[in-house]
C-alpha cells in the first residue's frame, strides 16, 4: 500500500485518514463495521481502492479508523472525490449508513430522509462565523478560548474600527498582538499563535483592508504592549475548576519550553569550557621547554586531570538538570481527563454540557403575554415572556418568543407539560422539535392530556400511547393472574418485556439493537437496578435474543451499564420520571410496586 501511494509524488496526502464515530450508547458489531466501510468507500467512488480499517472502543464512542489510498491500484491515477469537496460526500455516506443500520441521526445533519425515505440535502440557516474544526477540538479538549475565536470575537471589531494602518497597528500593540503581512495575505499574531486575517472575517483580509485603508504600511516603532495576550482564557468562566486547570496546563508547557532552552544553554556551557581549556593549555605551554621534559610531562598530566574533573562535574550537573526537566515533559491531560481525577462523573458532565434545544412552534406569531398556568410564574422581558416553575430561583423553564416557545429544561416533565398547556392555549395545534427523549415525553403528555401535536411521524406513537392508557384505566378490565410474572425474574428474562414495551410504545421507530439495549439499561436503572446487575442482564439477554451476532458480550454489556449512569443516561432517566411503578410491574415485581406506593417515590439506587 505504501509502495502504491508513493506513485503520487506530487500530492502530499495520497492516503487519507477518516474516522467514522457512533453516538455514545451505540455499539456496532463487526459485521456492521464491515458494511459501514463498504458503503463509505462506495459513496466516495473508491470501492476498488486499498483501505485498512479498525474498529476502536478506547473512548466513550465506538469509532472506525479508515486509511484510504486514493491511488487506483490498476491505473495508478490519483482519484479526488467530488472535485475536492469530499466532506460533503462523506456526510452523504454517513446518512446512508444511519438509514441502513438504523442508527440515531445526527443533529444538524447535512442530509436527512424525506417522506419517501430518500436522502435530501438540508438547507441550513445563516449562522455567525465560527472557529474551524481544529480550533473547536482544541476548545473542547482544553476548555480555553482558541486563537481563532479571539480573532473573530475581539480582533475583528478592532480591525473594523481602525481608519488608518497606524490606528490598526497601535490598537494591536495595546492588546499585545500584531498584524503582519505574509505573502499576498496577512497574519494576526495573538500572543505566539498566528491566525490568518481572513479567519476574523472577509472584511479583515489583506485585500479588503487595502481597498479601505490604502496600500499596506508596516507597523511603526511603538512602545511595549501594555498587556500580553498569551495567558489562556476560559471558554466558559463558570465551569468548575477551569481557571485552575488552565493555570496548571500553562505552567506545564512553559516548563516544557524551558527544556529546549536548557539544552541550548548546556551546549553553550560545553563550548565555553572547551574554549577555556584550550586557551589555558596554549598559555601554559607557550615558550621553550627545552631540557625540561620531565616537568612538561608532569604539568601536562596535572592539567589534563584537572580539566577532566571539570568536564565530569559539568556532565553530572547537566545530567541531573535534564532528568529534572524530563519528569514533567509529557502531554498534559485534557480538561475532561483532569476533572475525572476528582470525580468520576465530572468529566462526563463537561463532555455533555451542550445538547440539542427543545422547541415548540406554532403556525402564527402571537405577541407574548403572561398566561395563568398553575405552578408557573411569568416574567416579562421586552418582547419575550419567561416562565419559571414555582419555587425556582434560577433560569426560566421555558420562554415564549411569539412564534416559538423555547424549552430550556426539556427533561423536566412539569416544565414540558406547562409549555404544552401554553401552546395549546395559544395555537391549538402545534409542531414540536427536539431530541428523541423530548419527543417521547411530549407523546406521553399528548396522550394523557389530549394535546394536538401536528408532527406526522409521531401520530402512530400518540395513538399507541393513548390506547395503552385506555387499557390500563378501564375499570372492568379482567385481572390476569395466569401469566403473572414471578417476583424475581432471571436476568436474561428481564430484557424481553422491556424491549417489547419499547417497540409497542414507539411502533414507527426503527433502531439498532444496541441502541434498544441501551434503552433497556436506562429503564432498569429507573427501577433501581445497579450498574453490575444491568450489565449481567444485558450480557445474558442480548446473546440469547441475537445468537448469530458475534461480539465481546462482556465489554458490550459493561458499556451499556455505564451508559445508563452517564450524563445522557441520567437525562433519559429523568424523562421516565413518574413511570417507575409501571416499569417495575413490567419486570413482575408487584410487591416492590406496593412498597414504592407506600414510600411515595421511586426506589433509591443502590
User: Measured between alpha carbons, how far is 73 from 57 in angstroms, rounded to an integer?
Assistant: 31
Residue 17: φ, ψ to 5°: -110, 110
In tens, the pLDDT along 56-103 reads 988 888 999 999 999 999 999 999 888 888 998 999 999 999 989 988
Q: In this structure, are residues 169 and 222 in contact, taking their beta carbons and an 8 Å threshold?
A: yes
At CA 96, angle to CA 94 and CA 98, rounded to 5? 70
The answer to whether 109 and 520 have CB atoms below 8 angstroms apart is no
Per-residue burial over 200-210, b = 16 or more CB atoms within 10 Å of its CB, e = otherwise: bbeebbbeebe
Q: Which of 334, 174, 152 is nearest to 245 (CA)?
A: 334
Residues 483-491: what's their mean pLDDT?
A: 47
Q: What's the whole-number mean pLDDT along residues 559-583?
A: 83
What are the φ/ψ torsions at residue 28 (nearest 5 degrees)? -70, 145
pLDDT at 375 (0 to 100):
67
pLDDT digits (tens, 9 = 90+) for 8-24: 877 878 999 999 999 88
Helix (H, G, I), strand (E, B) or coil at 119: strand
In this predicted structure, what is the pLDDT of residue 39? Answer: 96
For residue 79, what are the CA distances in angstroms to 3, 9, 90, 134, 588? 16, 14, 15, 25, 60
pLDDT confidence of residue 129: 82
Residue of 71, 245, 41 whose CA lies nearest to 142: 245
Confidence of residue 358 (pLDDT cuts 50, 70, 90): low
Give the residue, 526 or 349, on which the prediction is more confident.
526
Compute φ and ψ for 497, nearest 5 degrees: -60, -35
How far is the C-alpha of 300 from the C-alpha of 292, rounded, in Å? 12
Q: Which of these ranges, 4-13, 160-169, 346-355, 418-427, has the smallest mean pLDDT?
A: 346-355
pLDDT band for position 440 (cuts 50, 70, 90): confident
Contact 56, 63 (CB under 8 A): yes
Buried b (16+ CB within 10 A) or exposed e, 447-486: beeebebebeebeebbebbbebeeeeeeeeeeeeeeeeee
Side-chain-side CA neighbours of residue 118 (13 Å): 2
Q: What's residue 160's pLDDT?
A: 92
Nearest to 364, CA basis, from 415, 431, 417: 431
The number of angstroms, rounded, from the C-alpha of 458 to the middle of its chain's C-alpha atoms is: 29
Confidence of residue 590 (pLDDT cuts 50, 70, 90): low
Give per-residue pLDDT as tens, 138-175: 888 888 888 899 999 889 999 999 999 989 988 888 88
- Report the pLDDT value the prediction gives residue 247, as an integer from 0 to 100: 81
State how far the alpha carbon of 322 is from the alpha carbons of 251, 253, 255, 438, 520, in Å.
18, 16, 12, 57, 55
132 against 35, higher pLDDT: 35
* Segment 29-56 mean pLDDT: 94
Distance CA 76, CA 70 (A): 9
- Ranking 185-189, 295-299, 476-480 by mean pLDDT, the lowest is 476-480
pLDDT band at 465 (very low <50, low <70, confident <90, very high): confident
- Report whether pLDDT(40) > 90: yes
Q: Is residue 472's pLDDT more than 70?
A: no
**Residue 385, pLDDT score:** 87
* Total residue count of the chain as it appears in this document: 606
d(CA 178, CA 222): 11
Q: Which residues contact 458 (CB under 8 A, 6 or more apart)?
A: 432, 439, 442, 443, 446, 508
The whole-number average pLDDT for the span 437-441 is 84
How far CA 375 is from CA of 96, 350, 392, 555, in Å, comes to 45, 31, 10, 45
* pLDDT digit string, tens, across residues 172-221: 888 888 898 988 899 998 887 899 999 998 899 999 999 999 999 888 76
Residue ranges in 13-155 assigned as alpha helix (H): 30-44, 86-101, 133-142, 147-150
pLDDT at 604 over 60: no
Question: In whole numbers, what is the pLDDT of the chain averaged over residues?
Answer: 81
Q: Is the pLDDT of residue 454 over 60?
A: yes
Residue 598: which pLDDT band, with cuts at 50, 70 and 90?
very low
Tell whether the model's pLDDT for residue 484 goes beyond 80.
no
As a whole-number percent, the residues of the chain with pLDDT over 90 amount to 20
**pLDDT for 277 beyond 70:** yes
Please give the residue that has the higher pLDDT: either 70 or 391.
70
The pLDDT value recorded for residue 64 is 95
CA atoms of 273 and 276, how far apart (whole Å): 5
Predicted confidence at residue 603, as pLDDT, reads 44
Mean pLDDT of 342-356: 68
485 pLDDT band, cuts 50/70/90, is very low
Does residue 599 have a pLDDT over 90?
no
Say if residues 180 and 186 touch (Cβ distance below 8 Å).
yes
pLDDT of residue 583: 84
- Looking at residues 388-405, what average pLDDT do you find? 80
Q: What is the pLDDT of residue 374?
A: 64
**Predicted local confidence at residue 127, as pLDDT:** 63
CA separation, residue 413 to residues 271, 353, 422 (Å): 74, 20, 14
Half-sphere exposure of 23 (CA within 13 A, CB side): 20
pLDDT at residue 487 greater than cutoff 50: no
Question: Cα separation of 517 and 508, whole Å?
Answer: 18
Grid-cell match 580539566, residue found = 307
Question: Is the pTM value of this prediction over 0.75?
Answer: no
CB atoms within 10 A of CB 319: 11
| Distance in angstroms (rounded) separating the CA atoms of residues 66 and 74 | 21
| pLDDT given at position 588 | 75
Q: Name the grid cell of 204.
A: 479583515
Residue 416 confidence (pLDDT) above 50: yes
Count of alpha carbons within 13 Å of 220, Cβ hemisphere only? 9
Band of residue 371 on the pLDDT scale cut at 50, 70, 90: very low
Amino acid at each position: 500500500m505504501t509502495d502504491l501511494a508513493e506513485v503520487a509524488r506530487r500530492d502530499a496526502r495520497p492516503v487519507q485518514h477518516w474516522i467514522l464515530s457512533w453516538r455514545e450508547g451505540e455499539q456496532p458489531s463487526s459485521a456492521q463495521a464491515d458494511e459501514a466501510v463498504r458503503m463509505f468507500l462506495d459513496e466516495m467512488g473508491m470501492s476498488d481502492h486499498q483501505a485498512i480499517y479498525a474498529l476502536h472502543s478506547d473512548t466513550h464512542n465506538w469509532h472506525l479508523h479508515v486509511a484510504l489510498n486514493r491511488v487506483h491500484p490498476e491505473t495508478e491515477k490519483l482519484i479526488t472525490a467530488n472535485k475536492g469537496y469530499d466532506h460533503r460526500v462523506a456526510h452523504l455516506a454517513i446518512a446512508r449508513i444511519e438509514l441502513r443500520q438504523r442508527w440515531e441521526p445526527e443533529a444538524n445533519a447535512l442530509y436527512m430522509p424525506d417522506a419517501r425515505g430518500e436522502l435530501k440535502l438540508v438547507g441550513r440557516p445563516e449562522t455567525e462565523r465560527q472557529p474551524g474544526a481544529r480550533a473547536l477540538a482544541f476548545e473542547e479538549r482544553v476548555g480555553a478560548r482558541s486563537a481563532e475565536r479571539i480573532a473573530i470575537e475581539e480582533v475583528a471589531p478592532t480591525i473594523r474600527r481602525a481608519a488608518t494602518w497606524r490606528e490598526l497597528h497601535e490598537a494591536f500593540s495595546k492588546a499585545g498582538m500584531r498584524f503582519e503581512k505574509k505573502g499576498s495575505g496577512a497574519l494576526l499574531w495573538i500572543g505566539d499563535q498566528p491566525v490568518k486575517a481572513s479567519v476574523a472575517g472577509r472584511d479583515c483580509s489583506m485585500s479588503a483592508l487595502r481597498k479601505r485603508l490604502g496600500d499596506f504600511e508596516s507597523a511603526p516603532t511603538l512602545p511595549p504592549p501594555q498587556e500580553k495576550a498569551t495567558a489562556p482564557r476560559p471558554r466558559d468562566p463558570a465551569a468548575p475548576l477551569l481557571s485552575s486547570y488552565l493555570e496548571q496546563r500553562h505552567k506545564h508547557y512553559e516548563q516544557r519550553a524551558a527544556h529546549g532552552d536548557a539544552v541550548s544553554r548546556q551546549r553553550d556551557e560545553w563550548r565555553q569550557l572547551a574554549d577555556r581549556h584550550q586557551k589555558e593549555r596554549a598559555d601554559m605551554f607557550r615558550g621553550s621547554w627545552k631540557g625540561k621534559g620531565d616537568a612538561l610531562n608532569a604539568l601536562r598530566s596535572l592539567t589534563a586531570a584537572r580539566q577532566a574533573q571539570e568536564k565530569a562535574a559539568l556532565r553530572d550537573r547537566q545530567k541531573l538538570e535534564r532528568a529534572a526537566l524530563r519528569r514533567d515533559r509529557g502531554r498534559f491531560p485534557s480538561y475532561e481527563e483532569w476533572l475525572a481525577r476528582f470525580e468520576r462523573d465530572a468529566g462526563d458532565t463537561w463532555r455533555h454540557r451542550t445538547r440539542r434545544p427543545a422547541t415548540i412552534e406554532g403556525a402564527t406569531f402571537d405577541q407574548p403575554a403572561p398566561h395563568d398556568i398553575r405552578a408557573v410564574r411569568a416574567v416579562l422581558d421586552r418582547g419575550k415572556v419567561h416562565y419559571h416553575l414555582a419555587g425556582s430561583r434560577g433560569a426560566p423553564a421555558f420562554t415564549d418568543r411569539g412564534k416559538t416557545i423555547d424549552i430550556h429544561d426539556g427533561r423536566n416533565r412539569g416544565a414540558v407539560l406547562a409549555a404544552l398547556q401554553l401552546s395549546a392555549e395559544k395555537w391549538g395545534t402545534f409542531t414540536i422539535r427536539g431530541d428523541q427523549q423530548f419527543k417521547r415525553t411530549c407523546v406521553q403528555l399528548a396522550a394523557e392530556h389530549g394535546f394536538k401535536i401536528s408532527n406526522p411521524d409521531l401520530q402512530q406513537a400518540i395513538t399507541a400511547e393513548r390506547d395503552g392508557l385506555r387499557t390500563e384505566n378501564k375499570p372492568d378490565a379482567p385481572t390476569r393472574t395466569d401469566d403473572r410474572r414471578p417476583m424475581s425474574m432471571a436476568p436474561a428474562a428481564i430484557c424481553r418485556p422491556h424491549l417489547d414495551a419499547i417497540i409497542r410504545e414507539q411502533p414507527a421507530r426503527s433502531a439498532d439493537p444496541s441502541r434498544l439495549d441501551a434503552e433497556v439499561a436506562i429503564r432498569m436503572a429507573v427501577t433501581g437496578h445497579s450498574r453490575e446487575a444491568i450489565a449481567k442482564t444485558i450480557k445474558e439477554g442480548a446473546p440469547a435474543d441475537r445468537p448469530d451476532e458475534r461480539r465481546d458480550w462482556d465489554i458490550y454489556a459493561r458499556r451499556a451499564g455505564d451508559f445508563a449512569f452517564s450524563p445522557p443516561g441520567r437525562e433519559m432517566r429523568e424523562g421516565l420520571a413518574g413511570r417507575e411503578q409501571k416499569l417495575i410491574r413490567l419486570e413482575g415485581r408487584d410487591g416492590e410496586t406496593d412498597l414504592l406506593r407506600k414510600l411515595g417515590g421511586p426506589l433509591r439506587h443502590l
